[in-house]
Amino acid sequence: MRAYPLKSTPVFKQRIWGGQQLREVLGKELPTDQRIGESWEIADLPEGQSTIANGPLAGRTLGDMVRGHTEQIAGTRDFPERFPLLVKFLDAQQVLSVQVHPDPETCRRMGRGDPKTECWYILQAEPGAVIYKGFKRATTRSQFARAIADGTAAEWLAAVPVHPGECHFIPAGTVHSLGAGLLIAEIQTPSDTTYRVFDWNRVDEAGTPRTLHIAEALESIHFETTPDRLPVTTVGRLVDSEYFRVDKGHRGQDSEILLARGCMRVLIFLTGGGRIVAADAESTQFKAGDCFLIPAAFEGAVVFTEDTEYLTVTV
């Protein structure tokens, strides 16, 4: 396989809280008659497999391609069977359910589920927009269980105002929710295990409340987590966790950065545009909203033809 920048074809997910901002802001080719909440850009899960959109590998799934060319893509043969990242764009036109994702210990204890740690990079936020992350103050399982039973669960959550350019780290076990009026990039471990605690008494088009997972959620929540324990970053190294690292870059027009061989990266272009140029001078165009997997065997440069903000994700 000749190593080259692999552009993804996303998987769109219809959500009750979604809209059309992924098309209007990021140029995604959404079905116009659906509320799309999530665009899975880099995905290797049974619930969604992104495919390669360009070059000789076009049409192959991310999982198939990585397992077939592991050393060229990852730079090592010692690589997990499932690709270790899930990268999304989310359009929250309405508030999401209050939920939690389990940590590895909880998954082992319950004998099911996959752990999930994530971060949210705020692309757009309407005035007054908030996220919910952790509790207003440390609580206990029994206290929160009573709050769920009497319908006051939301009153225990910490509502945190957010602004574009912020990155919020949400480790597994943190009770959380996105508020309305947000467009975000989400980087996470590869899991779709979500336990809903509360859904704001919302019903679907058929008038049916969405399923809650209260017992599993209570087993998974870290009740001591409050916002002061969760970092918020805006420049440089945004996340440095045991699962992934996220760095924010900003380059002006007619500048470039080198991509050295030996490191697998995911590049998420938030604004601007340009091209990724291989050492043999072949180039691949990019624009805002594009995500690329850069194989470890690739060598070249990113040339910016517009003022551009981007995220680099490594594992």
Task: Show which residues are catalytic.
Answer: 196
CA torsion, ordered 12, 13, 18, 19, to nearest 10 deg: 30
Strand partners, 62: none
Instruction: Report the C-alpha gap between 115 and 194 in whole angstroms.
Output: 9
Burial of 195 (0-12, 13-18, 19+ CB in 10 A): buried
Residue 101's nearest CA partner among 227, 193, 212, 223 is 193
**Cβ(156)–Cβ(136) under 8 Å?**
yes
**Cβ(170)–Cβ(118) under 8 Å?**
yes
Instruction: Report the C-alpha gap between 309 and 156 in whole angstroms.
Output: 36
